[in-house]
């Protein structure tokens, strides 16, 4: 994470010391680097441009669920990003951040009628439909509004992403998408609906992929289906290959974005030249973690050092409600002391104050720290704050965005009064 580095023995976000951020905003606090967000989005945008794509032939749709802060969405919107959403609330976030609904694709297995109406009223780019039942509901809602809903089907290619089972989405046993074997019939059904406009095809096989081979395998299966559809007169405008490229949390070496897109575009171009006389098809991507993950850290303070017979604990003021991934996935996050000390190194489990044995952020880490020190939980920009909760009536953390030597508060820390403001007492 080059935008988070030590300067004179103090960990900085860009040119701002994390000690200064803690003094001004307290802890726990999520800290994001604007430069990192721009750099990571640009890896996709520049690869598209290098391969001769413009906005009409390639669209990067940032996955809002990975980090939905308005400042992050606004920044990416200004860079030209589209957005992949999974709820009506995320659509309203995109709009509030200045994003263009015409560059929004709506994924998710459980869209309700209210969400469909909201999305249709804002003329979003496309619905990624994930079941036949959803297709029928969307057709009815669109009919009631006098609209035709633009649709792509999320096809499940049964490709193993070789990732954690909780974030694998492309196998037959996963809840996502329409089975590959049923896709052709479902497209025929969709094409015959009066208030459905078939515009594309979607595929997303999982998250935190280090190798692009499964993605390219899924692409090949999707291409076969597009050709079958064309033979039946169902011509698609776009192909959405999803997201899923991983990041480095520890020693992982994920495929470079540029190299992956070079291979993908080469395959698409060869296919279009061979089977469709070179006619273009818009290619879409849904990256989230690879843009936001290593653009943020969780800043936390050591409340107590607890030394036991078999383990030492660093009890910090952040907890599983702030960063759920370790408790949920047993995910690994690097932990770096904000101050580099020369004192003795000891091995600690980094744990929070929540009343659960599963409330841990890191295990078995060699750290030279003292009570009151600050720690940075690295690679926390994606699925950190967006998965946070108020368990134990704990207010969610503040969020700040660092731009060079400037710090912007982009979300205030919640206080207890915020948490029960919507509740009422019944006598």
What's the confidence (pLDDT) of residue 163? Answer: 52
Shared-domain flag, residues 210 and 229: yes
- Residues 29, 44, single domain; the answer is no
Poorest-confidence range of 23-32, 204-213, 279-288, 325-334?
A: 204-213
pLDDT on residue 171: 46
| Band of pLDDT at residue 162, cut at 50, 70 and 90 | low
Question: Rounded to whole angstroms, how far apart are CA atoms 99 and 80?
Answer: 9
* Helix residue ranges, H only, 26-157: 34-50, 70-78, 88-96, 113-121, 132-145
Residue ending a domain, among 252, 272, 290, is 290
> Token pair 């731009």 is at which residue?
403
> What is the pLDDT of the chain when averaged over all its residues?
94
Mean pLDDT of 136-144: 98
Same domain, yes or no: 263 and 343: no
Q: What is the pLDDT of residues 90-130, one digit of tens each?
A: 999 999 999 999 999 999 999 999 999 999 999 999 999 99
**Radius of gyration of the chain measured on its C-alpha atoms:** 23
Alpha helices in 152-199 (DSSP H): 180-191
Res. 139: pLDDT tops 80: yes
pLDDT of residue 168: 45
**Orientation of helix 213-231 relative to helix 180-191, angle to 10°:** 40
Query: Closest Cα to residue 395, out of 356, 335, 353, 351?
Result: 353
Tokens of 30: 């999520």
- Does residue 248 fall inside a structural domain? yes
Residue percentage of the chain with pLDDT more than 90? 90
**Who's near 348: CB < 8 A, 6+ residues apart?**
305, 312, 313, 314, 364, 365, 367, 369
Say yes or no to pLDDT of 261 above 50: yes
The answer to whether residues 335 and 361 touch, using CB atoms and an 8 Å cutoff, is yes
Q: What pLDDT score was predicted for residue 319? A: 98
Work out the pLDDT band at 167, boundaries 50, 70, 90. Answer: very low
Same domain for 13 and 123?
Answer: no
The total domain count for the chain is 2
- pLDDT classification of 161: cutoffs 50, 70, 90: low
Please report which confidence band the pLDDT of residue 368 belongs to, taking 50, 70 and 90 as the band edges: very high
With a cut of 90, say whether residue 409 has pLDDT above it.
Answer: yes
- CA dihedral (102, 44, 297, 314) in degrees, to 10, reads 120
166 and 311: one domain?
no
* Burial readout 45-59 (b: 16 or more C-beta within 10 A, e: otherwise): bebbeebebeeebbb
In a domain, 181, yes or no: yes
Res. 169: pLDDT tops 80 = no
279 CA to centre of own chain: 31
Domain shared by 62 and 17, yes or no: no
Q: For residues 207-232, give the mean pLDDT.
A: 92
Contact (Cβ atoms closer than 8 angstroms) between residue 12 and residue 339: no
CA gap 307, 299 in Å, rounded = 23
pLDDT of residue 174 exceeding 70, the answer is no
pLDDT for residue 157? 84
What single DSSP character describes residue 259?
A: H
The answer to whether residues 241 and 343 belong to one domain is no
CA–CA distance, 117 with 115 (Å, rounded to integer): 5
Residue 20 predicted with pLDDT over 80: yes
What residues make up the domain containing 355? 4-33+293-419
Query: Catalytic residue among 48, 61, 126, 355, which?
Result: 355
Position 303 in a domain = yes
> Which CATH number do you get for residue 304?
2.40.37.10
Domain termination site, one of 272, 290, 308: 290
Q: What percent of the chain lies above the pLDDT cut of 70?
A: 96
- Residue 158 CA, chain-centre distance (Å), reads 22
Q: Are residues 47 and 57 in the same domain?
A: yes
Cα dihedral value 343, 347, 352, 353, nearest 10: -80
* Mean pLDDT, residues 162-183: 64
Band (51; pLDDT cuts 50, 70, 90): very high
pLDDT of residue 160: 64
pLDDT at 308: 87
The CA–CA distances, whole Å, from 243 to 161, 202, 219, 274, 283 equal 12, 11, 12, 26, 12
pLDDT level of residue 291 (50, 70, 90 thresholds): very high
Average pLDDT rounded to a whole number, residues 302-324: 96
Place of tokens 């973690």: 289
Question: What average pLDDT does the segment 158-174 reach?
Answer: 54
Q: Rounded distance, CA 34 to CA 13, Å?
A: 10
Cβ contact 113:138 at 8 Å: no
User: What was the pLDDT predicted at 323?
Assistant: 98
427 domain residue, yes or no: no
| pLDDT for position 207 | 84
Q: What is the pLDDT of residue 164?
A: 45
The pairing of strands 82-85 and 126-129 is: unpaired
Question: Measured between alpha carbons, how far is 413 from 398 in angstroms, rounded to an integer?
Answer: 4
Domain boundary, last residue among 260, 290, 320:
290
Q: DSSP per residue over 342-361, as a string?
A: -SPPEEEEEE-SSSSTT-EE
Mapped onto helix, strand or coil, the DSSP state of residue 62 is strand
Q: Is residue 425 part of a domain?
A: no
Looking at the structure, tell me whether residues 328 and 230 fall in a common domain. Answer: no
CA 22 to chain centre: 26
Is residue 401 domain-resident?
A: yes
Which residues, in sequence order, are bridge partners of residue 400?
A: 31, 409
Domain CATH code at residue 209: 3.20.20.10
Q: Band the pLDDT of 425: cuts 50, 70, 90.
A: very high
Q: What is the pLDDT of residue 175?
A: 64
Same domain? For 221 and 75 the reply is yes
Concerning whether 355 is annotated as a catalytic residue, the answer is: yes
Task: Please give the average per-residue pLDDT across 241-269, as a whole number.
Answer: 94
User: Given this model, what pLDDT does residue 166 score?
Assistant: 44
Outline where 232-308 has alpha helix (H): 257-275, 289-292
The residue-averaged pLDDT of 26-37 equals 98
């Amino acid at each position: 994470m080059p935008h988070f580095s030590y300067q004179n023995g103090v960990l900085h976000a860009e040119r701002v010391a994390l000690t200064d951020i803690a003094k001004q905003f307290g802890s726990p606090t999520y800290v994001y680097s604007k430069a990192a967000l721009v750099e990571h989005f640009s890896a996709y945008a520049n690869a598209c441009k290098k391969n001769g794509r413009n906005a009409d032939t390639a669209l990067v749709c940032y996955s809002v669920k990975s980090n939905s802060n308005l400042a992050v969405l606004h920044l990416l919107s200004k860079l030209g990003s589209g957005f992949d959403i999974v709820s009506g609330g995320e659509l309203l976030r995109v709009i509030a951040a200045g994003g263009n609904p015409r560059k929004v694709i709506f994924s998710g297995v459980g869209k309700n009628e209210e969400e469909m109406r909201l999305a249709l009223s804002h003329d979003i780019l496309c619905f990624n439909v994930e079941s036949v039942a959803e297709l029928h509901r969307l057709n009815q809602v669109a009919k009631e509004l006098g609209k035709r809903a633009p649709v792509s089907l999320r096809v499940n290619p049964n490709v193993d992403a070789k990732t954690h089972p909780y974030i694998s989405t492309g196998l037959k046993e996963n809840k996502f998408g329409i089975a590959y074997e049923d896709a052709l019939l479902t497209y025929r059904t969709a094409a015959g609906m009066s208030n459905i406009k078939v515009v594309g095809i979607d595929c997303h096989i999982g998250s935190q992929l280090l190798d692009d081979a499964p993605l390219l395998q899924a692409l090949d299966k999707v291409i076969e289906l597009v050709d079958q559809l064309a033979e039946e007169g169902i011509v698609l405008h776009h192909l959405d290959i999803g997201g899923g490229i991983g990041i480095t949390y520890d020693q992982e070496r994920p495929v470079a974005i540029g190299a992956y897109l070079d291979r993908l575009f080469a395959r698409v171009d060869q296919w279009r030249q061979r089977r469709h006389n070179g006619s273009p098809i818009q290619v879409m991507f849904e990256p989230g973690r690879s843009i936001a993950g290593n653009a943020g850290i969780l800043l936390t303070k050591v409340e107590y050092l607890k030394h036991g017979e078999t383990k030492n604990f660093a009890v910090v003021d952040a907890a599983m409600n702030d960063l759920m991934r370790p408790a949920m996935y047993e995910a690994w996050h690097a932990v770096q002391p904000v101050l580099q000390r020369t004192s003795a190194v000891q091995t600690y489990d980094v744990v929070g104050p929540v009343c659960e044995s599963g409330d841990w952020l890191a295990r078995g880490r060699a750290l030279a720290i003292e009570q009151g020190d600050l720690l940075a939980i690295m690679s926390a920009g994606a699925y950190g704050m967006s998965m946070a909760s108020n368990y134990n009536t704990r207010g969610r953390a503040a969020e700040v965005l660092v731009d060079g030597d400037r710090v912007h508060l982009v979300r205030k820390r919640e206080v207890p009064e915020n948490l029960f403001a919507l509740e009422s007492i019944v006598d």
